[in-house]
A and B are shown apart, each in its own frame.
Chain A
Amino acid sequence: MSGVLGIAGYVLREAASRKFILAFLLGVTGVLVTLSLSLRIEVVDGALAASRLFGEVIDTDIRALDVALKPVFMAAAAVVFYGGILFGIVSCSDFAPSLLSPGRIEHLLALPLRRWHILAGTFVGVMTLAVFGALYGSVGLVLIFGVKTGYWTVGPVIAALLACVSFAAVYAVMLTTATLIRSAALCAALGGITLVGGIIAGFRTKIAPFIEEGLSRELFKGVTLMLPRLSSLAKAGMDLAASTPLGVQSLPMLLMGVFVFGLGVLAVGFWWFEGRDY
């Protein structure tokens, strides 16, 4: 277990020294600062009376504030979710391939670590980065909205955490890909494909009727049965942010399911890694 944590720390230190963390923090901070300076919201007795973005008055009806901000929160939740996963795919695609590069992997394999510790540690390290980044961005968003409007909601933070679980599933695929073929571009590509597959899987009950009855439909349903329902999680995050009723039957089970999918993919990666020659 300490081996896993050791490798995770190794990955984190690597990220810190590559100024990766710094760049990420700067980027997110920049977005938050821009938003906080440009968004002006006029609140009267808890009702949204007027709002300005970049000085332009947004045409709004006078409604209860949290209701009026619902679309904003939903949009924020969606951006945090999908944007976060996309950013994670692109920025974290390099970690595993570089760790598995010649000269490095031999050194690591010669250490008194079980092979799967190395992969697991990489996974834990990258997920730690993802969780902290997501929390930082979402808490910043909550602060901005809270200070500007007096309305405090935990919605964006929940969306960020849901996105982290989804990213865990996506990154598991990327990591397993790296053990097969050591290429950052391929890892990113497969991460993207997993994301798209997850979005489609979330809508599987809606899409299935549009597919030809028979083998094709059964095949579609079978394949999407296994894929993580990422768009359902995104929708749940948006619903939670806007305080509308959830469209899924049981969010905890769905969340567990996506996470367990990620673990399954990791297990495949471990299996492959254990037998691989370097």
Chain B
Amino acid sequence: MQRRRGLWLVFAVVLFGLAAWLMLSGQGEEEAPPPQKVAFPNRLRPEERERMERRRTYVVPVAPADAGTEQKPVRPSDPVLAALPRGKGKTAMVIEANAIRHSPIGELLLECLMNREGEELERFKQDTGVDPFQDLDRLVLTDDGVIVSGNFGNERLKNLLTSRGSTNYAYGDGARLFETQSERHLPDGGVVRRNGPQVGLWNDQMLVFGRSANGVKDVIDRVEGRGPDEPPVISEGSTYGEMYGVISAEQLKKLFPPDQQELAARLAEVAENVELHVDARSDFAMTAQVKGADEAKMTDLGKSLGGALSLARMKAQAEGEKELAQLLDFAKVRPDGNEFKLELAVPLEVIKQQLAFCRDQQDTQGSKQQEASPAP
């Protein structure tokens, strides 16, 4: 009787031992890795603030004031920001070439967004010895063309520009304009001459590419203080992220995938201005601030966008794309009166897929250009 009773105690000891071992293996001694955190760009980081202050290099020459009025002390400003277009409905995207040089996403986006001038820049790189990824500081894409800031004191560059059978002349205080032309020999012996991009070189530190000479001149005017009084579309305080800028609604439509065109159309109709910031150091994170006039419509638009995001997330979950689904977990739309803020994080692979359409456009555009080339 006692022996049988004692068996229970033995049993208990064995069970306790088993339990301890099971729980130890089940729980694990190490901590689980902390869950993925995504940092969205929302304000200037300290290093970005320093960068902004470092760029205030140019003092705009001020016309002598009338006698009697006080001269306001002129602060040095960032010439590239001054070069930006002014007013509503304009597009200007700044890509910090230095910051994203090693970032794969940077390369991707550059490739896509530059599809119009891509060929030209390739040729450019070959001919001028200016490597877009080495000597560039910033690349600005606007409706009218491309502005590039960096180190362009290279003689070869100047020689090339002059040698392109083009006219060149000085303009403004420190700029030189080159009206380039390019030649191509046709198989039948003829020669096609085409107007190349109009290039302006300002102060050996800024290259302005435009379709027309007037466009380039406008940019240089803005830099040298002769432009309109409206502030540039990107203010100093908005220069955070590896890519930042303002996109007009029309341009934004092009960034949407084909199956979301209806949403894109609504966006174009209601939104006045979309400010984008991208943090591409590691976390593939983007914020977009959309401003509009009509509060009700903006709220509706926000809700629809939120819905579209959740659909995308469910699709990702359904198709087993765990990484995308997890990152879309962080997507959210924050409504605030007549504007809303969209935060979105997307992995690299997905961006490649989304930008595939951009590459397609590039190919079709290339062939279109061929067709549209004027006969000599």
Listed in ascending order, the chain A residues whose CB lies under 8 Å from chain B are 44-49, 61-67, 116, 202, 205-206, 225-226, 228-229, 232, 244-258, 260-261, 263-265, 267-268, 270-271, 274-275
Min Cβ gap A65→B in Å is: 6
Known: A62-B335, A267-B11, A275-B5. A249 touches B25 (CB 8 A): yes
Closest to A65 in B: B310
- A270 near B26 (CB under 8 angstroms)? no
Known: A232-B27, A254-B27, A256-B26. A61 touches B332 (CB 8 A): yes
Closest to B314 in A: A46
Known: A44-B304, A46-B311, A63-B331. A253 touches B15 (CB 8 A): no
- B35 near A244 (CB under 8 angstroms)? yes
Q: B11-54 vs A: 1/0 string, CB under 8 Å?
A: 11111101111111111111110010000000000000000000
Assembled-state Cα–Cα distance A119/B32 (Å): 39
Assembled-state Cα–Cα distance A64/B315 (Å): 12
Chain B residues within 8 Å of A45, by CB: 303-304, 306-308, 310-311
- A248 near B8 (CB under 8 angstroms)? no
Min Cβ gap B144→A in Å is: 35
Contact of B26 among A206, A226, A252 (CB under 8 A): A252
Given contact pairs A61-B333, A62-B334, A264-B13, enumerate 10 new A-B contacts (beta carbons under 8 Å): A44-B307, A62-B302, A64-B329, A226-B19, A228-B23, A245-B35, A247-B31, A261-B16, A271-B6, A271-B8
- B27 near A271 (CB under 8 angstroms)? no
Min Cβ gap A199→B in Å is: 13
B328 at the interface (CB under 8 A from A): yes
- Most-contacted residue by chain B among A64, A229, A257, A267 (CB, 10 A): A64
Chain A residues within 8 Å of B328, by CB: 64
- B26 near A63 (CB under 8 angstroms)? no
- B28 near A274 (CB under 8 angstroms)? no
Listed in ascending order, the chain B residues whose CB lies under 8 Å from chain A are 2, 4-6, 8-9, 11-16, 18-32, 35, 302-311, 313-314, 328-329, 331-335, 340
- A250 near B25 (CB under 8 angstroms)? yes
Assembled-state Cα–Cα distance A248/B333 (Å): 32
- A248 near B332 (CB under 8 angstroms)? no
Closest to A201 in B: B23
Contact of B28 among A46, A61, A249 (CB under 8 A): A249
- A270 near B8 (CB under 8 angstroms)? yes
Assembled-state Cα–Cα distance A202/B32 (Å): 13
- Name A's interface SS: helix
Assembled-state Cα–Cα distance A165/B92 (Å): 60
Min Cβ gap A170→B in Å is: 14
Can you identify 9 A-B contacts, CB atoms within 8 angstroms? A44-B303, A62-B303, A63-B310, A63-B332, A63-B333, A64-B328, A66-B310, A254-B27, A260-B19
Assembled-state Cα–Cα distance A192/B24 (Å): 23
Q: What 7 pairs between A and B have smallest CB-CB spacing? A: A45-B307, A254-B26, A257-B22, A264-B15, A64-B310, A257-B23, A253-B26
Contact of A249 among B27, B302, B307, B309 (CB under 8 A): B27
Closest to A272 in B: B8
- A261 near B307 (CB under 8 angstroms)? no
Min Cβ gap B69→A in Å is: 50
- B23 near A229 (CB under 8 angstroms)? yes
Chain B residues within 8 Å of A44, by CB: 303-304, 306-307
Min Cβ gap B360→A in Å is: 28
Chain B residues within 8 Å of A275, by CB: 2, 5
Contact of A267 among B9, B23, B332 (CB under 8 A): B9
Chain A residues within 8 Å of B24, by CB: 225, 257
- A271 near B12 (CB under 8 angstroms)? yes
- B12 near A49 (CB under 8 angstroms)? no
Closest to B341 in A: A61
Assembled-state Cα–Cα distance A205/B4 (Å): 39
